[in-house]
A and B are shown apart, each in its own frame.
Chain A
Amino acid sequence: MSKEPKPVAIIMIEDDEGHARLIEKNIRRAGVTNEILSFRNGTSAVSYLLGADGSGLAAIGRPSLVLLDLNLPDMTGIDILARLKANEHTRRTPVIVLTTTDDAREIQRCYDLGANVYITKPLNYESFANAIRQLGLFLSVMQIPELD
């Protein structure tokens, strides 16, 4: 088990281009250099994460971390979360829900489905930037299980 872990890719599923850009900027500011893959809608993100056949085999040997927005044009983030956590190959992939909703029931549902972290996008930019930067720091020390 002395194998160096592969670099983790950050999968950002966010339909709002502006949000995606702000998140990326602030993660980079925290010194995180991992590859960030950005998806604008649920369909393309799911087909990347679980593979075109939806089996999840595509995820093998590809450690990743998911940043998930709940309001997507084609499906809700909750659906994506449920499918990732239900698939044998992706269920250990950390999912960070990053969204505008701060409804208590919504947060609870995400955790029930297996979300690892839930962050509300603060409207105050200072706090927003701060939260993302701290998330970046968190990501830089986080251990992601290697799938095989």
Chain B
Amino acid sequence: MLRSGGRRFVGYNLLLLAGGAIVLLMIVSAAFIFSSRSQLHATESLKAARVDRLVLEFISDLVDAETAQRGFIITGKEAYLQPYEDALGQLAKDTADLRLRAAEVDEGKAIAPQSVEELIRLGQDRLDLISQNLAAFRSGQVDKLQLVPALDRGKLIMDQIRQKGAAIREIAASVRIARAAAMRDAAFMLTTMISLGVAMIVVLTAGATMVMIRHIRQIDEARRDLIDINQELESRVRERTEAVMRTNDELQRYAYIVSHDLRAPLVNIIGFTAELESATERLTSYVRKVDGDPADPDRKDALVAVDEEIPEALGFIRSSMKRMDSLINEILKLSRAGRRVLEPVPLDMQNLVSECVDSIRQRFAEAGAEVGIEGRLPDVISDRSALQQIFTNLLDNATKYLKDERPGKITVRGRLERASAVFEVEDNGRGIAEADFERIFELFRRAGTQDRPGDGIGLAHTRMLARRLGGDVSVKSDGETGTTFIVTIARDLVLRMGRNET
């Protein structure tokens, strides 16, 4: 669940990131487009303004020329001709400019070239008129009064020029207004785009934050679930360990009580058998001593009874008692070992197992078996004596049930598994049939060919000890090529016992 959530989280975030990048790209390109468009509009607007100024200058040049002419005519002073000359030069320059610049406005589409040309032509007409007047006046062909009609005509032309100029300026003004409006629109568009982009980024960021928060929440939930699961698992392990330990304890008490209660009648059987024996001895010597007819069948029977039947019966009773006695003693021993208080200490298992191997080295030598520790055995905190007993039992067993036709090889190995240490004792002996896997751990039960001495105690003891150490023992075998006993114990018995006390 966590994994798919994580993948979705990455997917969402990539999507949001890509969205953010696209929005930024859009903002940047919009800014670029609109600013270059604004620049264009500004340039065009400037061009229109220049035309407007040029038209004004053109007219003002004409007015200057006219004023100078008028001054000269009125005063007759040559000094007035200088401004006239200046105005002419300026006018020529401004005319050329006006023609050029007017064609530039809106690529020449806004102001018709004819209207500019007409203005220029009218200007030229006016100038021609002025220069004619001047020439006429200087040569003295006409006096001031004769010039009046010419002046009137000049005014007429001038009015026409002003009209034309105003028309052109109007066009220039409208171009400027249009451009300014376009500029305003572009600026507005840019602002809108930026605002939109910002809004989108805010939305995306909010989305990313939400996705992240949700993801964090999921992680948190998953973590909490994991803790719960862990706790449940731990408590389950604890319950199981407790149950096993409790069963084990009950079994120990049971064994102890049974063995004691079995002992009481056994004391009687043993005691009265001894009494019976001593009574029989007396009886036997009496029966032998008594003279009688050797042919008497009763006497013969009595002799058979005291010489054969009673000793035979007593012999069987004796051997059975002995067996019973040893069984009870084994149960007692087992039960005592089960009741012994465990003393967990840090143990170097490599050392401990080596010691166990050494203690029964003689047996390995006799059986021609080779024994080795594979790798390094993990150290544990556990009970030394119980572990010594476990390994001695298992190694002893392995040696006992080797197969005659192949040289024995016994291997011990170990590893850690979570809170447990797992040890294996593997042999290449005769193996154990699968049907007997459980049976061999039961008290007084044995499996396979009964050609070796044993009471069926060792493995029961081993299982009891392994369970007390917070684990168990199991067996693996194909019934042919060998057997592996797997002993699991708590890695830290102090911890395990501490847990069970709570």
User: Binary interface profile of A, 15-35, with partner B (CB < 8 Å = 1, else 0)?
Assistant: 010110010010000000000
Is A22 within 8 A of B264, CB to CB?
A: no
Interface size in chain B (residues, C-beta < 8 A): 15
Is A125 within 8 A of B264, CB to CB?
A: no
Is A123 within 8 A of B267, CB to CB?
A: yes
Is B263 within 8 A of A22, CB to CB?
A: no
Is B271 within 8 A of A100, CB to CB?
A: no
Is A101 within 8 A of B260, CB to CB?
A: yes
Is A100 within 8 A of B263, CB to CB?
A: yes
Bound: A16/B265 CA distance, A = 8
Say if the beta carbon of A68 comes within 8 Å of chain B. no
Within 8 A of B (CB), among A77-123: 100-101, 121, 123
Chain A hits for B260, CB < 8 A:
71, 100-101
Bound: A48/B116 CA distance, A = 156
Say if the beta carbon of A53 comes within 8 Å of chain B. no
Say if the beta carbon of A124 comes within 8 Å of chain B. yes
Chain A hits for B272, CB < 8 A:
18, 22
B259 and chain A: residue at smallest CB distance:
A100
B324 and chain A: residue at smallest CB distance:
A123
Bound: A143/B263 CA distance, A = 33
Nearest-Cβ distance from residue A30 to partner chain B, whole angstroms: 16
Say if the beta carbon of B268 comes within 8 Å of chain A. yes
Is A19 within 8 A of B264, CB to CB?
A: yes
User: Binary interface profile of A, 109-148, with partner B (CB < 8 Å = 1, else 0)?
Assistant: 0000000000001011110110000000000000000000
Say if the beta carbon of B104 comes within 8 Å of chain A. no
B260 and chain A: residue at smallest CB distance:
A100
Residue among A25, A101, A123, A129 making CB contact with B266, cutoff 8 Å:
A123
Chain B hits for A16, CB < 8 A:
264-265, 267-268
Bound: A126/B274 CA distance, A = 8
Say if the beta carbon of B270 comes within 8 Å of chain A. yes
Is B263 within 8 A of A123, CB to CB?
A: yes
Bound: A22/B273 CA distance, A = 11
Chain A hits for B78, CB < 8 A:
none
Say if the beta carbon of B348 comes within 8 Å of chain A. no
Within 8 A of A (CB), among B240-283: 260-261, 263-268, 270-275
Nearest-Cβ distance from residue A54 to partner chain B, whole angstroms: 29
Bound: A100/B264 CA distance, A = 7
A126 and chain B: residue at smallest CB distance:
B274
Is A100 within 8 A of B274, CB to CB?
A: no
Residue among A100, A121, A125 making CB contact with B273, cutoff 8 Å:
A125
Is A123 within 8 A of B274, CB to CB?
A: no
Chain B hits for A125, CB < 8 A:
270-271, 273-274
Residue among A25, A100, A101, A126 making CB contact with B267, cutoff 8 Å:
A100
Nearest-Cβ distance from residue B49 to partner chain A, whole angstroms: 120
Say if the beta carbon of B379 comes within 8 Å of chain A. no
B329 and chain A: residue at smallest CB distance:
A123
Bound: A16/B272 CA distance, A = 13
Is B275 within 8 A of A19, CB to CB?
A: no
B328 and chain A: residue at smallest CB distance:
A123
Chain B hits for A100, CB < 8 A:
260, 263-264, 267
Chain A hits for B263, CB < 8 A:
100, 123
Nearest-Cβ distance from residue B326 to partner chain A, whole angstroms: 10
Bound: A25/B272 CA distance, A = 11
Nearest-Cβ distance from residue A136 to partner chain B, whole angstroms: 16
Bound: A82/B303 CA distance, A = 55
Nearest-Cβ distance from residue B268 to partner chain A, whole angstroms: 3
B266 and chain A: residue at smallest CB distance:
A123
B273 and chain A: residue at smallest CB distance:
A125
Say if the beta carbon of B307 comes within 8 Å of chain A. no
Residue among A25, A71, A101, A123 making CB contact with B270, cutoff 8 Å:
A123
Chain B hits for A129, CB < 8 A:
271, 274
Within 8 A of B (CB), among A47-88: 71
Chain A hits for B270, CB < 8 A:
123-125, 128
Say if the beta carbon of B57 comes within 8 Å of chain A. no
Nearest-Cβ distance from residue A138 to partner chain B, whole angstroms: 20
Chain A hits for B266, CB < 8 A:
123
A129 and chain B: residue at smallest CB distance:
B274
Chain B hits for A101, CB < 8 A:
260
Is B274 within 8 A of A18, CB to CB?
A: no
Nearest-Cβ distance from residue A58 to partner chain B, whole angstroms: 30
A104 and chain B: residue at smallest CB distance:
B336
Chain B hits for A121, CB < 8 A:
267
Residue among B261, B265, B267, B325 making CB contact with A128, cutoff 8 Å:
B267
Is A19 within 8 A of B274, CB to CB?
A: no
Residue among A22, A25, A71, A124 making CB contact with B268, cutoff 8 Å:
A22
Chain A hits for B325, CB < 8 A:
123
Nearest-Cβ distance from residue B332 to partner chain A, whole angstroms: 9
Nearest-Cβ distance from residue B337 to partner chain A, whole angstroms: 13
Chain A hits for B267, CB < 8 A:
16, 18-19, 22, 100, 121, 123, 128
Extra contacts, 15 of them, besides A19-B264, A22-B272, A125-B271 (Cβ < 8 A), are A16-B264, A16-B265, A19-B267, A22-B267, A22-B268, A22-B271, A100-B264, A101-B260, A121-B267, A123-B263, A123-B267, A124-B270, A125-B270, A128-B270, A128-B271
Which A residues form the contact surface with B (CB < 8 A)?
Answer: 16, 18-19, 22, 25, 71, 100-101, 121, 123-126, 128-129
User: 28 A-B residue contacts at CB 8 Å?
Assistant: A16-B264, A16-B267, A16-B268, A18-B267, A18-B268, A19-B264, A19-B267, A19-B268, A22-B267, A22-B268, A22-B271, A22-B272, A22-B275, A25-B275, A71-B261, A100-B263, A100-B264, A100-B267, A101-B260, A121-B267, A123-B263, A124-B270, A125-B270, A126-B274, A128-B267, A128-B270, A128-B271, A129-B271
> Closest 3 interchain pairs by CB?
A18-B268, A125-B274, A22-B271
